[in-house]
Structure 1
Amino acid sequence: MLKTVKVSIVGRVQGVGFRPFIFQLANEYGLKGTVQNNMDGVEVYIEGNSADVQLFLQSIKEKAPRLARIDQMTVYNEAFIGYKQFSIIKSRREGTSQLVIPVDAGVCDECLAEINNPHNHRYNYPFTTCTQCGPRYTIIDELPYDRPYTSMSHFELCPNCEKEYNNPMDRRHHAQPIACPECGPYVTLVSNDGRILAELEEALQVAGKLLNEGKIMAVKGIGGFHLCCDANNDQAVSLLRSRKNRPNRPLAVMSFSIEHANSFAKVSSDEEKLLRSPEAPIVILQKKKEYHLSEKVAPNMKTIGVMLPYSPLHYLLLKEAGEKTLVMTSANVSGLPIVYKNEECRQYIGEIADFYLIHNREIVHPVDDSVVQIVQDKTDFFRKSRGYVPDALYSKMNVDGIVSFGGQQKTTFALGRNHQVFIGPHIGDLENLFTINHYKKELQHLLKWIQPHQRIGVIDYHPNYQTRELAKEFSFDEVMEVQHHHAHMAACLAENGIDEQTFAIILDGTGYGLDGNIWGFEIFYGDCKQFQRLAHLKYTALPGGETCIREPWRNACGMLLTLLGDEGFNICEQLFPSHKEAISVFRAMIEKGLNTVYAGTCGRLFDAVSSMIGICEKSTYDGEAAIRLSELAQLGKQVDSYSYEIQEDHNKLVFDFSRMLLEISRDVSSLKAVEAISTAFHETIVQALVDGMNRMKEKFPQYNNKVVLSGGSCHNRYLKERLTSCLTVAGFEVYSHKRIPCNDGGLSYGQLMVAAAKREEKPCV
Structure 2
Amino acid sequence: MKAYRIHISGIVQGVGFRPFVYRLATGRGLAGFVENDSRGVNIEVEGEDQAVDSLLGAIPAELPPQAAVDRLTAEEIEVRGHSGFLIRESSAGAGATRISPDIAVCGDCLAELADPHDRRHGYPFINCTNCGPRLSIIKSTPYDRPATTMADFAMCPDCLREYRDPGDRRFHAQPNACPACGPRVWACDASGKTVAEGGGAIEAAARHVSSGGIAAVKGLGGFHICCDADNGQAVSRLRELKRRPDKPLALMAVSLEAARRACLVSDAEGKLLGSPQAPIVLCRKAEGWGPGGAVSPGNSYIGMMLPYAPLQHLLFRALREIDDRPWLLVMTSGNARDLPIESDNRQALDRLGDAAGIFLMHDRDIENRNDDSIVIQMKGRKAEGGKGTAQIVRHSRGYAPNPVALPKAVGPCLAVGGQMKNTFCLAEGKVAYLSQHIGEADSLETMEFLREMYGKYRRWFKIEPETVVHDRHPDYLTTRWAQSLGVRTTAVQHHHAHLMSVLADNRHQGPAIGVMFDGTGYGTDGRIWGGEFLFFDGGATIERLGHLEYLPLPGGEAAIKNPWRIAAAYGRHLLGREATARYKGVSEEEMEAVIRQTESGINLAWTSSLGRLFDAASAALGICPKISFEAQAAMALESLAAENCSERYPYGIDRPGDGPAIVSLGGLWRELTADIGRGTDAGRCAARFQNAIVDIAIAMCDNIKLLTGCETAALSGGVFQNRFLLERIAAGLQSGGYRVLTHRQVPSNDGGLALGQVMALSLEGQD
Q: When the two structures are superposed, what TM-score results if normalisation uses the length of structure 1?
A: 0.96
TM superposition shift of 1:451: 2.0
- Structure 2 counterpart of 1:193, one-letter code: S
2:463 pairs with 1:452: yes
> What residue is the counterpart of 2:366 in the other structure?
363
* Contact 2:408/2:509 (8 A) holds in 1: no
Q: Structure 1: 5+ residue runs without aligned partners?
A: none
Question: Matched residues in 2 for 1:724 and 1:453: separation?
Answer: 39
Aligned residues of 1:331 and 1:349 also touching (Cα < 8 A): yes
Q: Does 1:13 align with 2:12?
A: yes
Could you tell me how far apart the structure 1 residues matched to 2:395 and 2:94 are? 27
The answer on whether the counterparts of 2:33 and 2:43 sit within 8 Å (CA) in structure 1 is: yes
1:88 matched to which residue of 2?
Answer: 87
Alignment of 1:368-407 (within 5 A): 368-376=371-379, 378-407=389-418
Cα drift, residue 544 of structure 1: 0.7
Q: Find out whether 1:718 has 2:724 as its counterpart.
A: yes
| Residues 455-477 of structure 1 deviation map (CA, whole Å, 9 limit, x = unaligned) | 1110001111111111123232x
1:21-420 correspondence runs (5 A): 21-93=20-92, 95-293=93-291, 295-322=293-320, 324-376=327-379, 378-420=389-431
- 560, 563, 579: which is aligned to 1:552? 563
**Shift, 1:292, TM fit:** 4.8
CA 125–520 in structure 1, closer or farther in 2 if over 3 Å, else same: same
Q: Which residue of 2 aligns with 1:533?
A: 544
Change (3 A) 1:579 1:656: farther
Q: Count matched residues.
A: 752
Match of 1:664 among 665, 669, 672: 672
Give a deviation string over 1:61-83, Cα, whole Å, max 9, x none: 11110110000000000111000
Q: Deviations over 1:676-730 (max 9, x none)?
A: 11111110111122222223333x1x42111111100011111111111112222
> CA offset at residue 173 of structure 1?
0.4
**Per-residue displacement from partner, 1:117-136 (whole Å, max 9, x unpaired)?**
00000001000000000000
Maintained 8 Å contact 1:493/1:528? no
Aligned partners of 1:400 and 1:419 also within 8 Å: no
Equivalent position amino acid for 1:441 in 2: E
Deviation string 1:526-545 (CA, Å, 9 cap, x unpaired) is 14732101110111111111
Letter in 1 for 2:73: T
Matches within 5 A, 1:484-523: 484-523=494-533
Alignment equivalent of 1:421, drawn from 420, 432, 452 = 432
Q: Could you report, residue by residue, the CA deviation over 1:195-234 in whole angstroms, capped at 9, with x for unpaired residues?
A: 2110001111121111110110000000000000001100
Counterpart pick for 1:693 among 701, 707, 712: 701
Contact 2:16 2:129 in 1 (8 A): yes
Tell me if the contact between 1:412 and 1:423 (Cα under 8 Å) persists in the aligned partners: yes
Quick one: which amino acid aligns to residue 180 of structure 1?
C
User: Is 1:755 matched up with 2:761?
Assistant: yes
Q: Residue 576 and residue 214 in structure 1: after superposition, are their counterparts in 2 closer, same or farther (change >3 A)? A: closer
Shift, 1:294, TM fit: 5.0
Residue 307 (structure 1) shift = 0.6
Q: Secondary structure at the match of 2:437?
A: coil
* 3-state SS in 2 of match to 1:396: strand
- Provide the C-alpha distance between the structure 2 equivalents of 1:198 and 1:400, rounded to a whole number of angstroms: 54
Distance 1:497 1:423 in 2: 15
Q: Using the alignment, how far apart are the partners of 1:164 and 1:396 within structure 2?
A: 43
State the secondary structure of the residue aligned to 2:533.
strand
Q: Once structures 1 and 2 are overlaid, which stretch shifts more, 582-591 or 713-722?
A: 582-591
Which residue of the partner structure matches residue 468 of structure 1? 479
Counterpart position of 1:647: 654
Letter in 1 for 2:256: I
The alpha carbon displacement at 1:500 in A equals 2.5
Paired residue type of 1:348:
R
Secondary structure of the 2:152 match is coil
Look up the equivalent residue of 2:176 and give its one-letter code: I
Against the structure 1 CA distance between its residues 752 and 528, is the aligned structure 2 distance closer, same or farther, given a 3 Å change threshold?
farther
- What's 1:434 paired with? 445
The amino acid that maps onto 1:618 is K
Instruction: Give the CA RMSD over aligned residues.
Output: 1.4
- How far did residue 577 of structure 1 move? 7.7
Query: What letter matches 1:518 in structure 2?
Result: I
Q: Quote the residue 1:621 is aligned against.
A: 629
Equivalents in 2 of 1:96, 1:261: separation in Å?
47
Aligned 8 A contact 1:399 1:421 in 2: no
**Amino acid corresponding to residue 297 of structure 1 in structure 2:** V
What residue ranges of structure 2 are gaps of 5+ in the alignment? 321-325, 380-387
Amino acid at match of 2:156: C
Contact 2:402 2:434 in 1 (8 A): yes
Whichever residue aligns with residue 23 of structure 1, its letter is Y
SS at match of 2:203: helix
Deviates more, 1:723-732 or 1:142-151: 723-732
Structure 1 equivalent of residue 712 of structure 2: 706
Residue 601 of structure 1 aligns with an amino acid whose one-letter code is S
Secondary structure, in 3 states, of the residue corresponding to 1:556? helix
CA distance in 1, matches of 2:660, 2:116: 71
The alpha-carbon deviation at position 164 of structure 1 amounts to: 0.2
Distance 1:247 1:757 in 2: 45
Distance, in Å, in 2 between the alignment partners of 1:372 and 1:528 is 32
User: Structure 1 CA distance, aligned partners of 2:99 and 2:208?
Assistant: 38
- Residue 558 of structure 1 aligns with an amino acid whose one-letter code is A
Q: Distance in 1 between matches of 2:613 and 2:584?
A: 17
Equivalent residue letter for 1:46: V
Report if the CA contact (8 A) 1:406-1:751 is conserved: yes
Q: 1:528–1:134: structure 2 CA closer, same or farther, 3 Å change rule?
A: farther
> Bigger CA drift: 416-425 or 310-319?
416-425
**In the alignment, is the contact (CA less than 8 A) between 2:649 and 2:692 conserved in 1?**
yes
Q: Secondary structure at the match of 2:360?
A: strand
Matched to 1:657, the amino acid is: L
Structure 1: distance between partners of 2:361 and 2:583: 50
Q: How far does residue 579 in structure 1 lie from its aligned partner after superposition?
A: 3.1
Contact 1:543 1:586 in 2 (8 A): yes
Aligned to 1:82, what secondary structure does the other structure show?
coil
Query: Structure 2: which amino acid aligns with 1:412?
Result: T
Which of residues 577, 582, 588 is equivalent to 2:590? 582
Distance 1:615 1:338 in 2: 31
Query: Once the two structures are superposed, what CA deviation does each residue of 1:349-397 show, in whole Å capped at 9, x if it has no partner?
Result: 1111111000000000001100001012501211010011011112232
TM-score (norm 2): 0.96
Inter-partner Cα distance in structure 2 for 1:332 and 1:132: 30
SS in 2 for 1:398: strand
Whole-angstrom CA distance in 2 between matches of 1:96 and 1:538: 53
**Alignment CA distance shift 1:577-1:71 (3 Å):** closer
1:243 is paired with a residue of what secondary structure?
helix
